Amino acid sequence: MGYFLTLVALVVALGVTWRYLGSYMAAVFDGRVHFLGFVERPIYRLLSTRPDQEQTWKRYGGAVIVFSAVSLAFTYAILRLQGSLPLNPQHLGAVGSALGFNTSASFVTNTNWQNYGGETTMSYFSQMGALTVQQFVTPAVGICAAIVLVRGFSRKNFATVGNFWVDLTRCLFYILLPMAFIAGIIFVGEGAVMTLAGTATIHDVLNGAVQVIARGPIAFMEAIKQVGTNGGGFLNANSATPFENPSGLTNFLSMYLLLAIPFALTYTFGKMVKSVRHGAALLAAMALLFGVWVGFTSFAEHQNNPAVAAAGIHSTVGNTVGKEVRFGDTTTALFGVASTSTSTGSANGAYDSFTPIGGLGLLTGMMIGEVTPGGTGSGLYTLLVYAIIAVFIGGLMIGRTPEYLGKKIQAREVKLAGLAALVMPITVLVLTAVAVSLAAGRAGPLNAGPHGFTEILYGLTSQGNNNGSAFGGLTGNTPFYNVIGGIDMLLGRFAIMIPCIALGGALAEKPVVAESLGTFRTDNAMFIGLVVGVILIIGGLTFFPAISLGPIVEQLSHLRFF
Amino acid sequence: MNKVIDKPTTDASRGGVAKSRGLFDKEILRQALGDSLRKMDPRVQIKNPVMFVVLIGSVITFFEAIAHPSKFAWSITIWLVLTVLFANFAEAMAEGRGKAQADTLRKMRSETEARRLLPDGTEELVAAALLAKGDLVVCEANDVIPSDGEIIEGIASVDESAITGESAPVIRESGGDRSAVTGGTKVLSDRIVVRITAERGQTFIDRMITLVEGANRQKTPNEIALTILLAVLTIVFIPVVVTLVPFGNFAGAAVSVVVLVSLLVCLIPTTIGALLSAIGIAGMDRLVQRNVLAMSGRAVEAAGDVQVLLLDKTGTITLGNRMAANFFPVGGHSEQELADVAQLASLADETPEGRSVVVLAKEQFGIRERQLGDDHVFVPFTATTRMSGLDMGSRQIRKGAADSVKRWVVDAGGMSPNDLDVIVERVSRAGSTPLVVADGTDILGVIELKDVVKTGIRDKFDEMRKMGIRTVMITGDNPLTAAAIAQEAGVDDFLAEATPEAKMALIKKEQEGGRLVAMTGDGTNDAPALAQADVGVAMNTGTTAAKEAGNMVDLDSNPTKLIDIVEIGKQLLITRGSLTTFSIANDIAKYFAIIPALFVATYPQLNTLNIMRLHSPESAVLSAIIFNALVIVALIPLALRGVRFRATGSAAILRRNVMIYGVGGIIIPFVFIKLIDIVLVALHAY
């Protein structure tokens, strides 16, 4: 019952957010929100730029690359130098070079894959000055890239797509910082830890044991962790620990926050292209797939774990292995799907202990490209890539040069969309193949056989999709996995984002074709169905062989599918 | 396979270039079989990335079959080679039809001698092939016109059946819009002097040969975009398949190379890849079947995108000319009296309007046509008098524009009856043209000349509207007349008192609004607009300037055909889109056939995925490959004929095609792969 109430509350809250946050974000990027002008202006002066100084897609994309490269270097430097930097009450030493590369790539790509335990590796300064900073700026970069693509549709005969520095500043000050601030207060209020006082040492008088309890500035990191679909928690146990996720309210709030912006951006899209119906169509495609995945995974987790059942133990409350009793089977499944479908990757349970089919739900939520609703910004731009492919095929089928919102989809657009759609499956499959072929890679998984294969596949799928959720079971902090994962994350982020920015530039240059009765409708149920079909078919066709050797064969070993 | 014969699409498709051939004409079939072998050349294959991958795959399985001979490996190799051959065959079939047409054209290309006119007025005989642009040639009865040109002197009746298939001769004369002649046509009477307007090897027929042969066929924009998508869908499946080797090794399974190649070939979009160029060539061919020559495939594609059709009123919407429809007597005269005088006034008037008056008087009042006497003098129509008539001794009969006739009567001392203006006004308002008839100083009444809207045209326009195409009628009539005809014909809009400038402005305005415009034209003054329009169809009867400005030429000179052209353009894209969808949808069933077969030795539980219950791993893979090859052959007729097109809204078309080619594309391979498997088992092949 609690599960269904949670679902209803989530739908209502997200519905309201969709409408109002979406509209507000459109206003921010249209330059109609100014209340922090006194903060904006000095920043622009410092960067010697002006809001009316727009960039072509090449300059915009170049700025994204430069900014991200500097972020990568800056984060890496802090991690390597943390021993000599302040706010290090535990006197933690430098992060190793391979782990430092993996972690900085992870946070610069909005992945937050963590090959480390936060409380035993990172100083407060590293957590706040390096990681949390990236947790703010990377979702902003993602949103900027999405806005470029949206502007591609809303502008006609335009050479420029906006100013990256201005978009970035506005996104941070008008959207992410306020949302994270309010959410942070609630987390603190609910009891999430927020302190710079170092670890607490507790002497248990009864049994004489001494415990060292990790603490830190957790609550505010927690807020942006969810708002920015980052997922990298302060503590190793992530949202499963009460210090990060103290109550039912914060658990609900976490799910709400990580879904809020990705869903609301579809309204922003609709608003900016002057057709909320078009935004609603994208929302429907996202929500439909999200709903199916929630239902599928929750149902799977509500069953007995086949391995446990085989041992003669039957549970009446679903698969509870590896789950917090505070949250239960289905709500953990809901959290898991929300987190893996949004490129967040935070966790309030052990995904490794999900039933094979439940784990498949999480895995495939990422394999379909993180579009349901996906990461902040990245979800929208990746979905638009699939929408463009759907428009192209559907448009041909009605006998017209395909067009989406009046923009003709021609060779250049198909090339860029195809490139963006190719990158993720190829990267993930090839790197998984490398991992299973080399001794260093084979040493990673805890289990043998199909489950071990799933552990490797999950790890590289999670990083390639910039999700960052860990299936567990994979020993990732080895030079091999640190490097291969770093490459996976960087390709999965920028090899998709840059073609999308280029796509925005290509579309903005185009004139707008007038709409008529003969136009392929891109705001109705048929279109939603086509987009969903394209997402499922591309994801399914590329990953079906791999998953049939992992979770499917594992589940079939128990002779039945559910 | 049943012999499918194209329905003749217009009555004009019976002759000329467009001699209709059956879809599987024996001669073309034989030619195509040979061509499909010649096309195995890797240099040809590399142009089609999808089929090139299949070719490489067949080479790999070939060596594998030599290294580890097995019935299975050899069967797969043979079927992969057949897959490539089938693709070649599809293309060769489409090209074959064009080649046959080009041969017909070559036969009629003039090899005769031309009578070149020298500056001093003498003639010399030269080979037609040596004529240069600007040369003057003389053609008399029974001469074949040696090259394209323009008549600068004389008038002749010309037999153009070699090009248009229309056996009735046409009149060509110097000056005006009927001065162009085409090389290869034959002068039937009189003498003309023609100035050659085509460079050597650049004549209309030469261009037609190049076009129908598809010798230097350029890929159209949508075709390029689709090729890119197909390349993407090919590239992505290579790592999908290749990574199965390490994945299999990790699971302890040895993966068969032959099966992997089979899986790759099954997954890449071979169906559309094999048929893509055939679809494009066949699209051009369908236009030629309807006696339309498109100068580029791009124009055909643009036709499918057209949102505004500019249609000339005369000849397209209405039957050629106005016809007398009613007599309205005035000033107390009877209708009979008026009809009698009107007929007299029109007896010598050879214009269609004049003749229609004679006919109407005969039909309504049985007034017989009378012979003109010696003292009867015909007064022809001139732009200044704006009336015509007959002088019978002292009796002067006139018919003409209302104000001109009125002025003529008043000047001669007569007066205009009170009810005349009312009737003239009423006739004009109805969209017709009033002709006032006077006998001396007496005005008898008004003849109503009416435009006759073609039957069935209204339904066509309704179809267009459903397809989201706006029709605009172009006419030189005044707005009042234009509005009435526009309403009767059911066009969406009209441009009255149209000048070439106004037409041009309208096209530009529509294009600025993001709409693609199609129009027809024949006159030299249409040329700029024809060039500006996205699809400009020039009438073959038109001037050279018009034909050069447009991007299509209609050999039948039938402007209504613009509507057919739009449908062909749409059909071309629909066929490509539908077969792409079909090709991708097929992959699902192929996965269910091959993936269990690939790993069932290692993971017997994967046999659960063998939902078709195929006999053995080998028979499963082979069945999928055979299906993949045969589906190409099965779809050749569809590729050549095009997916059926109905003029309905986009939503209905999409729903239909998604159901047939999307959902059908998922289900069909399940059924046929199973059937092929059953046959293979029955034949004890496996």
- Whether the per-residue pLDDT at B8 is higher than 50: the answer is no
Cβ-nearest to B570 among A399, A513, A544 = A399
Verify whether the Cβ–Cβ distance B514 to A450 is below 8 Å: no
B125 at A interface, C-beta within 8 A: no
Distance from CA of B573 to the nearest CA of A (A): 5
Interatomic CA distance for residues B188 and B157, integer angstroms: 6
In the set B143, B312, B522, B587, the catalytic residue is B312
Of A3-7, B1-5, B633-637, the least confident: B1-5
Verify whether the Cβ–Cβ distance A542 to B584 is below 8 Å: no
Interatomic CA distance for residues A35 and A479, integer angstroms: 48
Interface of A with B in 403-422 (CB under 8 A): 406, 409-411, 413-415, 418-419, 421-422
A181 at B interface, C-beta within 8 A: no
| Structure confidence at residue A559 (pLDDT) | 54
Find tokens 């076009």 and name the residue: B211
Q: CB neighbours of B442 closer than 8 A, spacing ≥ 6? A: B331, B409, B414
Which of B200, B223, B215 is closest to B101 using CA atoms? B215
**Higher pLDDT pick, A464 / B7:** A464
Verify whether the Cβ–Cβ distance B250 to A516 is below 8 Å: no
Please report, to the nearest 10 degrees, the dihedral formed by the alpha carbons of residues B445, B451, B452, B454 taken in order.
180
Q: How confident is the model at residue B650 (pLDDT cuts 50, 70, 90)?
A: confident
The alpha carbons of chain B give a radius of gyration, in whole angstroms, of 33
Find tokens 């982020």 and name the residue: A493
Sign of torsion over alpha carbons B102, B108, B111, B114? negative
Q: What pLDDT, in 10s, does the model give residues B529-580? A: 889 999 999 887 777 778 888 888 888 777 778 888 888 999 999 999 999 9
Structure tokens at B135: 């040369």
**Collapsed DSSP state (helix, strand, coil) of residue B121:** coil
Of A48-62, A192-206, B207-221, the least confident: B207-221
Paired strand residues for B124: B116
Interval B224-251 mean pLDDT: 94
Distance from CA of A215 to the nearest CA of B (A): 42
Using DSSP bridges, classify how beta strands B123-127 and B180-181 pair: parallel, antiparallel or unpaired: unpaired
- Whether the per-residue pLDDT at B166 is higher than 70: the answer is no
Cβ-nearest to A521 among B231, B263, B651 = B651
Q: Three-state SS string across B144-172, please?
A: ECCCCEEEEEEEEEEECHHHHCCCCCEEE
Of A75-79, A252-256, A319-323, B85-89, the least confident: A319-323
Interatomic CA distance for residues B597 and B686, integer angstroms: 14
**Collapsed DSSP state (helix, strand, coil) of residue A418:** helix
| Structure confidence at residue B12 (pLDDT) | 37
Interatomic CA distance for residues A111 and A3, integer angstroms: 28
Query: For chain B, first and last CA: distance in Å?
Result: 28
Structure tokens at B117: 């006119």
B601 at A interface, C-beta within 8 A: no
Verify whether the Cβ–Cβ distance A544 to B591 is below 8 Å: yes
Structure tokens at A54: 């727009």
Is residue B561 within 8 A of residue B10, CB to CB? The reply is: yes
Chain B residues inside the 8 Å CB shell of A410:
221-222, 224-225
> Across chain A, what does the average pLDDT equal?
93
Chain B residues inside the 8 Å CB shell of A511:
514
A438 at B interface, C-beta within 8 A: no
**Collapsed DSSP state (helix, strand, coil) of residue B2:** coil
Bond from prior residue into A373 cis (ω within 30 degrees of 0): yes
B591 at A interface, C-beta within 8 A: yes
| Structure confidence at residue A133 (pLDDT) | 96
| Structure confidence at residue B15 (pLDDT) | 44
Cβ-nearest to B229 among A414, A517, A519 = A414
Interval A333-344 mean pLDDT: 94
Interatomic CA distance for residues B520 and A246, integer angstroms: 75
Which of A98, A72, A69, A106 is closest to A465 using CA atoms? A106
Structure tokens at B157: 């009746």
ipTM score assigned to the predicted complex: 0.93
A453 at B interface, C-beta within 8 A: yes
Verify whether the Cβ–Cβ distance A433 to B581 is below 8 Å: no
Which of B197, B192, B196 is closest to B174 using CA atoms? B192
B583 at A interface, C-beta within 8 A: no
Instruction: Fill in the amino acid letter for B381.
Output: F
Find tokens 């902090």 and name the residue: A477
Q: Which of B228, B464, B580, B600 to mutate to test the interface with A (most CBs of A within 10 A)?
A: B228
**Higher pLDDT pick, B523 / B355:** B355
Is residue A464 within 8 A of residue A427, CB to CB? The reply is: yes
Q: Three-state SS string across A276-317, please?
A: HHHHHHHHHHHHHHHHHHHHHHHHHHCCCCHHHHHCCCCCCC
Interval B470-481 mean pLDDT: 85
Interatomic CA distance for residues A221 and A130, integer angstroms: 12
| Structure confidence at residue B14 (pLDDT) | 38
The DSSP line for B643-681 is: -------HHHHHHHHIIIIIIHHHHHHHHHHHHHHHHHH
**Collapsed DSSP state (helix, strand, coil) of residue B48:** coil
Q: CB neighbours of B128 closer than 8 A, spacing ≥ 6? A: B110, B111, B112, B113, B114, B146, B147, B183
Q: CB neighbours of A200 closer than 8 A, spacing ≥ 6? A: A212, A213, A215
Interval B437-450 mean pLDDT: 90
Is residue A156 within 8 A of residue A167, CB to CB? The reply is: no
A541 at B interface, C-beta within 8 A: yes
A443 at B interface, C-beta within 8 A: no
The three-point CA angle A80-A81-A87 to 5° equals 120
Structure tokens at B402: 């209302």
Q: Is A511 left (phi over 0), alpha (psi -120 to 50) or beta?
A: beta
Verify whether the Cβ–Cβ distance B232 to A419 is below 8 Å: yes
Structure tokens at A284: 């429907």
Of A370-374, B81-85, B517-521, the least confident: B517-521
Structure tokens at B91: 């293309």
Is residue B503 within 8 A of residue B495, CB to CB? The reply is: yes
A526 at B interface, C-beta within 8 A: yes
Annotated catalytic residue B312: yes
> Across chain B, what does the average pLDDT equal?
85
| Structure confidence at residue A1 (pLDDT) | 58
Chain B residues inside the 8 Å CB shell of A393:
229, 577, 580-581, 584
| Structure confidence at residue A207 (pLDDT) | 84
B605 at A interface, C-beta within 8 A: yes
Is residue A73 within 8 A of residue A107, CB to CB? The reply is: no
Percent over 90 (pLDDT), chain B: 30
Interatomic CA distance for residues A412 and A303, integer angstroms: 48
B469 at A interface, C-beta within 8 A: yes
Verify whether the Cβ–Cβ distance B605 to A540 is below 8 Å: no
Distance from CA of B555 to the nearest CA of A (A): 25
Q: How confident is the model at residue B9 (pLDDT cuts 50, 70, 90)?
A: very low
| Cβ-defined contacts of A271-280 (< 8 Å, 24+) | A271/A22, A271/A23, A271/A26, A272/A26, A272/A29, A272/A30, A272/A147, A272/A150, A272/A151, A272/A153, A272/A154, A273/A150, A273/A153, A273/A154, A273/A405, A274/A154, A275/A405, A275/A523, A277/A523, A278/A405, A278/A522, A278/A523, A279/A22, A280/A523
Q: CB neighbours of B594 closer than 8 A, spacing ≥ 6? A: B259, B262, B263, B266, B620, B621, B624
pTM of the model: 0.88
Verify whether the Cβ–Cβ distance B228 to A521 is below 8 Å: no
Interatomic CA distance for residues A141 and B38, integer angstroms: 54
Interatomic CA distance for residues B584 and B630, integer angstroms: 16
Q: What pLDDT, in 10s, does the model give residues A376-411? A: 999 999 999 999 999 999 999 998 889 999 999 999
| Structure confidence at residue B16 (pLDDT) | 47
| Structure confidence at residue B659 (pLDDT) | 94
Q: CB neighbours of B218 closer than 8 A, spacing ≥ 6? A: B296, B297, B298
Interface of B with A in 234-273 (CB under 8 A): 235-237, 239-251, 263, 267
| Structure confidence at residue A114 (pLDDT) | 94
Chain B residues inside the 8 Å CB shell of A442:
250
Q: How confident is the model at residue B94 (pLDDT cuts 50, 70, 90)?
A: confident
Which of B413, B365, B404 is closest to B381 using CA atoms? B404
| Cβ-defined contacts of B613-617 (< 8 Å, 24+) | B613/B674, B614/B673, B614/B674, B614/B677, B615/B677, B615/B680, B615/B681, B615/B686, B616/B686, B617/B259
Percent over 70 (pLDDT), chain B: 94
Interatomic CA distance for residues B335 and B326, integer angstroms: 9
Is residue A110 within 8 A of residue A176, CB to CB? The reply is: no
